[in-house]
Structure 1
Amino acid sequence: MRHNKVDNELGVQLRNLLKEKSISMRSLSKQTEIDTATISRIINGKRKANLNHLESFAKSLEVPVVDLIEAAGYRAETTKEEKRTGIDMELKYTKKLLEAYEIEQERLTMENIEQELKVHQEYSQTEEGRKMIFTSFKEKLKKSGSANSFIQQLEEMYHRFRSQKGSKTEVALLGGALIYFILTIDMIPDYMFAIGFLDDVLIVKYTMLLLKC
């Protein structure tokens, strides 16, 4: 039952993206070199998309591959205990994806994530750091694909940072995550579309988790 629900979620997302970008299934087939019948079966929930399918769709439709991967049901189910330490599960999940794409993953550790955030948090409290966020965030956001939960969280974080909503520590957390997102060269370079934003997604989720603590 869960697979049918997941496949339908992916199908709805693909249909919406095709409509939004005015692309037919036949055109998508030519761009991705995936048979039109296969695309139709995936969209209608009659076939489960594999990672190669999802990467090809993401490139052609210009969306982060993580959005399609989650919709396709590749994220593992978690227990209540695991959800309380959700960042560890997110890290394992991200590393699993990197392994699938044969991407070096040694730098992607909790220690590096915390160190990167600490440096960026401090920088975000300087005049130069704030200027970077205010002048570069919206332009970077435009390059990050269509609206999704990741983009919505980033926009919320930006507005909270801009209005200085929260304690000094909370504002620093927001600023650190925003600067990490803005910078192109990070633990997974953003130019590696469509997997380049996986670490940014992880950083944003980690920051949101810290803000809730």
Structure 2
Amino acid sequence: MMGHLEETVKSLLRRRSMSMRQLATATGISVSTISKMIAGKQRVNLDYLRRIADALGVPPLTLAEAAGLPLIKEPIGPTDGDRQTSMNALLEYLGLGNLNVLRTEIERELEKYEAYAQTEEGRQFIAEKYLAKRGQIQGIGDFLRDLDDIYDRFSRPDTPEDERRILASGILYFLLATDAIPDYLFPAGYLDDAIAMQMVRERLARRREMKDQGAEGS
């Protein structure tokens, strides 16, 4: 029985008067691999799915949904149990463990970027790249508001240098980190960036708490 992904791809091929061989040429993926993947005989490769979607002129999310991937249709919050369960399913599918594992990986990246933010190269990179990349993204709600706020606070001359480094780590994560989840799996694709912004806020809160405790003890 023809699967939903296979049916969708073959319908799009007919609509565009394309053969499977032409699709293979356009994507750089062999006919055999495409056939096995869309028929469910081998695991869906997200990069291949994106290439096939581009060649067929449809959003990658269309094929991701047809493949039955455990996608999230709306941004998740801390109390969205059902959607967090679905997100864990997606992360497991992608070989990324779960949300806790993802947070651990993001924390490691933020620590690395905080060190980079202390260099002239890191500060120059933010100055040259941030506004251009930020302008490419629209309408992602809380994630963008957090990102804009972090950049605004980073840019203020009265922001303490230790806090500026933490803020810069979040900006550099947005600019440099390899996305754990493909961005086209919107809004799930921005989950790691959103978590990074949340963790920047948590790190700022801890830093200020340590300062307050130091002031009280002096």
What range is the shorter-chain TM-score in? Answer: 0.5 to 0.7
Distance (Å, rounded) in 1 between the aligned partners of 2:122 and 2:204: 20
Does residue 1:68 correspond to 2:74, yes or no? yes
3-state SS of the aligned residue for 1:135?
helix
Structure 2 unpaired stretches of 5+: 1-60, 66-70, 207-218
**CA displacement at 1:191 relative to structure 2:** 5.8
Q: Which amino acid aligns with 1:185?
A: T
Deviation sequence 1:38-60 (CA, Å, 0-9, x none) = xxxxxxxxxxxxxxxxx66xx9x
- Aligned match for 1:119, one of 95, 107, 112: 112
Which residues in structure 2 correspond to 1:141-180 (within 5 Å)? 141-146=134-139, 148-180=141-173
**Distance across 1 between alignment mates of 2:174 and 2:136:** 11
CA contact (8 A) 1:170 1:211 kept: yes
Superposition pairs of residues 57-96 of structure 1, within 5 angstroms: 68-70=74-76, 75-76=80-81, 93=84, 96=86
Please identify the structure whose Cα radius of gyration is greater.
Answer: 2
Does the 8 A contact of 1:66 with 1:198 survive in 2? no
Q: 1:184, 1:191 within 8 Å by CA — same for their partners in 2? A: no
Shift of 1:163: 1.8
- Corresponding residue to 1:103 among 74, 80, 94: 94
Once the two structures are superposed, residues 163-192 of structure 1 have per-residue CA deviations (whole angstroms, 9 ceiling, x without a partner) of 244322211110001000112514335465
Q: Superposition RMSD on alpha carbons, in Å?
A: 3.4
Normalising by structure 1, we get a TM-score of 0.52
Q: How many pairs align?
A: 136
- Whole-angstrom CA distance in 2 between matches of 1:168 and 1:209: 17
Offset of residue 69 of structure 1:
3.8
SS in 2 for 1:197: helix
Q: TM-score, normalised by structure 2?
A: 0.51
Cα separation, 2, equivalents of 1:105 and 1:157 = 27
SS at match of 1:68: coil
Stretches of structure 1 that go unaligned for 5 or more consecutive residues are: 1-54, 60-64, 78-91
Amino acid in structure 2 at the alignment position of 1:99: A
Looking at structure 2, the residues matched to 67 and 170 of structure 1 have their Cα atoms a distance apart, in angstroms, of 34
